[in-house]
Amino acid sequence: MKHAFAVANCTAALHLAHLALGAGPGDKVICPSLTFVATANAIRYTGATPVFADITSVDDLNNAPDDIAAKIDASTKGICVLHYGGYACDMERIMDIAQKHKLYVVEDAAHAPGAATWLRDQTTVRGERVLRKCGSIGDIGCFSFFSNKNIATGEGGMMTTNSDVLAEKIKLLRAHGMTSLTWDREQGHSFSYDVVALGYNYRIDEIRSAIGRVQLKKLESNNSRRAEITHIYRERLQDIKAISIPFMHVNSVSSHHIFPILLKTSNARQPFMSFMRDKGIQTSIHYPPVHTFSHYKSSCEPESLPRTVEVAPRIVTLPLYPTLTQEQVEYVIAMVQQWSIEMQ
Ligand SMILES: *Cc1c(COP(=O)(O)O)cnc(C)c1O
């Protein structure tokens, strides 16, 4: 990418992205409900309103391009997509929709460092498909380096863009709207500064940046270990009747951030998670949908999200991180198998 800015965290990155792209009071931005709450909160920080789009299916938990298109109206300003679990959205169709309606696209790539997907190459006449990295396709890409992400610095984030105009805005908004920074002044480029926008302190610090540079070197090998574990899980769990596994048939490159499974019924989730915990295995929920939170309830009709409503209570994620050992993976698989036998 032409520009990349390290920031304090991905929530700050998303906030700055929507600000730089001009979202504000009266605007609507379409985003998933099946995401971490920060995706929606960041839209609201600007005064704009998040409008939730439904997932595609039990096999594809990303926003359905059709439903994104269906939720566009005269106040829609942009779209924020999430590459759920590190599996790329259908960016070709989403970019087409955005272009047609003159909407901006922010990629919440918190799960997706290293992930990529096929896109028509606009620069060639034949329009061949090229592999493009997640976070490099929309107007701005936002990454998280929180402790549980594929690159971890504790707290941290990054924004990427190819637009010089957006880069200038991001640079200002990230650091108090100041025209020159301590570093420039120390280097003798200027003695004072002006403030030309209502900016924030969304910088990352040097110590986390140093950690990030080391972490970045491990991204590729860590992602391939995540892929390996995912393939073992898939192979060994796919015949279990009590569960199904989303994203089985993707042809994009995943970063394998998490490994979600779907239980057949929603009332199986609590007993399943308790069973696994008793066996010493932590499972998680990615995510309680944003539209179900008390703070968000009044702003969305669940009827507009039938597939999210149906699928979300059945989602559980199994352990997935690069340092999981073969024995640990085998143990998790054995316990899922044991649970499925015991529950019959
Ligand atoms: C983690 C996460 C964020 C927020 O990232 P922070 O760096 O913790 O602010 C935003 N969106 C999604 C989908 C995430 O998983």
**What ranges do the domains of the chain cover?**
3-208, 220-343
54 Cα–ligand 1 center, Å = 20
Q: Compute the mean pLDDT over every residue in the chain, rounded to the nearest whole number.
A: 96
Query: 253 pLDDT exceeds 90?
Result: yes
What is the rounded distance in angstroms from the CA atom of residue 299 to the CA atom of residue 277?
Answer: 35
The answer to whether the beta carbons of residues 333 and 237 sit under 8 Å apart is: yes
Pocket test for ligand 1, best of 61, 144, 148, 284 (most atoms within 8 A of CB): 144
Provide mean pLDDT across the span 24-30: 98
74 Cα–ligand 1 center, Å = 29
pLDDT confidence band for 117 (50 / 70 / 90): very high
220 Cα–ligand 1 center, Å = 20
Asked if residue 86 has its Cβ within 6 Å of ligand 1, the reply is no
What is the rounded distance in angstroms from the CA atom of residue 215 to the CA atom of residue 199?
Answer: 29
Asked if residue 157 has its Cβ within 6 Å of ligand 1, the reply is yes
What is the rounded distance in angstroms from the CA atom of residue 3 to the CA atom of residue 297?
Answer: 37
Which pLDDT score, from 0 to 100, does residue 192 have?
Answer: 87
How far are the Cα atoms of 32, 206, 234, 235 from residue 231, in angstroms, in the given order?
27, 37, 5, 6
Beta bridge partners of 158: 6, 143
| Ligand 1 atom nearest to CA at 144 | 7
SS3 state of residue 146? strand
Asked if residue 11 has its Cβ within 6 Å of ligand 1, the reply is yes
Taking the whole predicted model, whether its pTM rises above 0.95 is answered as yes
Which pLDDT score, from 0 to 100, does residue 185 have?
Answer: 74
Query: 344 pLDDT exceeds 80?
Result: no
| Ligand 1 atom nearest to CA at 145 | 7
pLDDT confidence band for 236 (50 / 70 / 90): very high
144 Cα–ligand 1 center, Å = 6
Provide mean pLDDT across the span 251-268: 97
38 Cα–ligand 1 center, Å = 6
Which pLDDT score, from 0 to 100, does residue 246 have?
Answer: 98
Which pLDDT score, from 0 to 100, does residue 126 have?
Answer: 76
Asked if residue 40 has its Cβ within 6 Å of ligand 1, the reply is no
Provide mean pLDDT across the span 100-111: 98
Asked if residue 150 has its Cβ within 6 Å of ligand 1, the reply is no
Provide mean pLDDT across the span 263-290: 97
Instruction: Give the model confidence (pLDDT) of 61-79 as tens digits.
Output: 999 999 999 999 999 999 9
Instruction: Give the model confidence (pLDDT) of 179-199 as tens digits.
Output: 877 777 777 777 889 999 999
The answer to whether the beta carbons of residues 158 and 209 sit under 8 Å apart is: no
Query: 267 pLDDT exceeds 90?
Result: yes
Q: Confirm or reject CATH 1.10.3720.10 for domain 3-208, answering yes or no.
A: no
Query: 225 pLDDT exceeds 80?
Result: yes
Question: 220-343 belongs to which homologous superfamily?
Answer: Aspartate Aminotransferase, domain 1 (3.90.1150.10)
Q: Among 123-132, 269-278, 328-337, which stretch is predicted with the lowest mean pLDDT? A: 123-132
Asked if residue 84 has its Cβ within 6 Å of ligand 1, the reply is no
Which pLDDT score, from 0 to 100, does residue 73 have?
Answer: 98
175 Cα–ligand 1 center, Å = 21
| Ligand 1 atom nearest to CA at 156 | 7
SS3 state of residue 37? coil
